[in-house]
Amino acid sequence: MKKLVVLTGAGMSAESGISTFRDSNGLWENHRVEDVASPEGWYKDMEMVLDFYNQRRAQLIDCTPNAGHQLLAELEADFDVQIVTQNVDNLHERAGSSNVLHLHGELMKARSTGSGGEVYDITHSQPIIKKGDLCPKGFQLRPHIVWFGEAVPEIENAIRIVQRAEILVIIGTSLKVYPAASLMNYAPQGCLIYLIDPNEISNLPSSITVIRKGASEGILELKTKYLKQ
Ligand code: APR
């Protein structure tokens, strides 16, 4: 089976009701991104940051995967599919995708602020982290999210995945945040690259086939028009 690599961003989950980051004046769910997604924001007001992600988690539990997530999962019948997502939601997994690498962390996980950085699952029955919630070694737990200014530990794995792609599909990302935005540059020669987004993405190489549609409609077009076996 051909190796099909899918890079997804916030637009992938927009049709499930989760807001994108840069479609609303730089505000994310009424917060400045730097207040809720940076180590500085965490040190300034830990309780506000914890509460923000507790709300995001509650929202995620109420959301369901959209038709686009389902179509990507179905592609596994015909392709060796690997998803690399910038999204911290678990909608790809809930739609049935088997291979999902999260570049920017996962909302349903907590991480120790101790030097070990151990990661723990968060249950649907208790989807909150509070100030004073500690890891077994006694360190405060924080959201398992890669914030601005922090290292992206999965980037090397993501590069290796893209380097093996025969088909690369980019969906719903403004390609403004690095290093994620540079991943497509690692696609090997001859790799077919498609980009699905309802809005114009500037400075794209002319070799990329752009499908200017929302995720669900765009993936359906990809499947029926471009990926016919
Ligand atoms: N289907 C597909 N794409 C859509 C849809 C839709 N229904 N609606 C909007 N989009 C597109 C927008 O046109 C935009 O290009 O999704 C993209 C969303 O871009 P951003 O909000 O910048 O999100 P993303 O690229 O995922 O952000 C990258 O920034 O804040 C950080 O860590 C965070 O992972 C995030 C990273």
Instruction: Walk along the chain (229 residues) in steps of 10 and give the mean pLDDT of each run.
Output: 97 94 70 92 97 95 97 98 98 98 98 97 94 98 96 97 98 95 97 97 93 98 91
Q: Which amino acid makes up residue 116?
A: G
Strand (E) or helix (H) holding 46: helix 46-62
Instruction: Provide the 10 A C-beta neighbour count for residue 123.
Output: 8
DSSP state of 16: T
pLDDT at residue 24 in the model:
66
Verify whether residue 104 is a known catalytic residue.
yes
What angle (nearest 5°) sits at the alpha carbon of residue 108, between those of residues 173 and 88? 5
pLDDT at residue 34 in the model:
87
User: Which protein residue's CA is at the shortest distance from atom 15 of ligand 1?
Assistant: 174
According to DSSP, the β-strands at 80-85 and 27-28 are: unpaired
Closest atom of ligand 1 to 214 CA is 1
What angle (nearest 5°) sits at the alpha carbon of residue 43, between those of residues 41 and 49? 50
Closest atom of ligand 1 to 216 CA is 1
Strands (DSSP E) found in the chain: 3-8, 27-28, 31-32, 80-85, 100-102, 105-112, 119-121, 141-145, 167-171, 192-196, 209-211
CA of 146 to the centre of ligand 1 (A): 16
Closest atom of ligand 1 to 33 CA is 30
Task: Record the pTM.
Answer: 0.96
Who's near 11: CB < 8 A, 6+ residues apart?
A: 20, 171, 172, 173, 197, 198, 214, 215
User: Which protein residue's CA is at the shortest distance from atom 7 of ligand 1?
Assistant: 214
- Distance CA(182)–CA(205), nearest Å, equals 12
- Distance CA(103)–CA(20), nearest Å, equals 16
User: Which of 69, 92, 104, 144 is labelled catalytic?
Assistant: 104
Question: If phi over 0 gives left and psi between -120 and 50 gives alpha, with beta otherwise, what is residue 149?
Answer: left
CA of 86 to the centre of ligand 1 (A): 9
Ligand 1 pocket, CB under 6 A: 9-11, 14-15, 20-23, 33, 37, 86, 104, 172-174, 176-177, 197-199, 214-215
Domains and CATH numbers, the chain: 1-18+66-104+152-229 (3.40.50.1220), 21-62+108-145 (3.30.1600.10)
